Amino acid sequence: MFTGIVQGVATVERLVERPGLRSCTLAFPPGFDEGLSIGASVSVDGVCLTVTERPTPDRACFDVMQQSLALTTLSDAGVGSRVNVERAAKDGAEIGGHPLSGHVDATGTLVQVRRPENNHVLRISLPKAAMRYVFAKGYIAVNGASLTVAEVDRRDGWFEVWLIPETLRMTTFGDKREGDRLNIEIERQTQVFVDTVRNALDERLGPLVPLLERLLAREGQALEDLARPPPAIR
């Protein structure tokens, strides 16, 4: 498990293509790898990877399966790419963000960057299947960072997050440009709640669900808005 608090930025130093997977070597910031052993888990841009080798201090090797390459932005990384990294949480660790599994649900696309004074705003588009779990003031993980959703437009399929200078300093978000892909992990409690409510509506309303969806669409809403999780589960 991870907390969504990015602990540093690593650099892709070497890539080796092997049958069925890609092996990569990351160079870590000083001190990040203290006590890091083979078999340990590291979140790399939000993807949970396992350490396979420790060639030198401040470096570790990982194998990335074809499925992970197909479903995440790790397939876009090249030598010299910078990635967010976080060590696996230890028992009793402070959860400064929210619990993450390191299992990416979808990739989003950065469609707009705004820079109001002392802030950095990212507007990210998502497939409809993932947008149903995104709510204003809720949690979401973007490239392994736990962030709070500021705005949501379900009709156009995007959400926004606002980043403070400290977040930009500790992550790669300042490097991102419009059109870049980003790894997204939805918040699990929200997913369970939304799916439970939607299944209950399907069971009770059956064929009336499409009609309800059309009526809500006329008001600029979606069925998922009825399944908004209550504050108590946050």
- Burial class of residue 50 (count of CB atoms within 10 Å of its CB; 0-12, 13-18, 19+): middle
| Cβ neighbours for 17, distance < 8 A, ≥ 6 positions apart | none
pTM: 0.85
pLDDT of 231? 53
Integer Cα distance of 92 and 33 in angstroms: 20
In single-letter form, the type of residue at position 106 comes to A
Residue 120: is its pLDDT beyond 90? yes
pLDDT at 205: 62
Percent of the chain clearing pLDDT 90 (strictly above):
70
Rounded to an integer, the average pLDDT of 141-163 is 95
CB atoms within 10 A of CB 137: 12
Residues of the chain with CATH 2.40.30.20: 8-87, 106-188
On the question of pLDDT at 15 being above 70, the answer is yes
Averaged confidence pLDDT in the chain: 89
Mean pLDDT, range 124-138, rounded to an integer: 93
Cβ atoms 131, 154 nearer than 8 A: yes
The whole-number pLDDT of residue 69 equals 95
Residue 127 contacts residue 106 (beta carbons within 8 Å): yes
Model pLDDT, residue 200 = 74
Pick the CATH number of 106-188 from 3.40.50.1000, 2.40.30.20, 2.20.28.120, 2.30.30.100: 2.40.30.20
* Bridge-based pairing state of the strands 139-142 and 181-186: antiparallel
Residue 134 has what pLDDT? 94
**For 211-218, what is the mean pLDDT?**
62
Percentage of the chain exceeding pLDDT 70: 85
Taking each helix axis from N to C terminus, what angle separates 209-218 and 188-205, rounded to the nearest 10 degrees? 120
pLDDT digits (tens, 9 = 90+) for 164-186: 999 999 999 999 999 999 999 99
Torsion of CA 87, 171, 99, 132, to 10 degrees: -140
Pick the CATH number of 8-87 from 2.40.30.20, 1.10.3720.10, 2.50.20.10, 3.20.20.70: 2.40.30.20
Residue 83 has pLDDT above 90, yes or no: yes
185 vs 194, residue with greater confidence? 185
With tokens 């230890």, the residue in question is 90
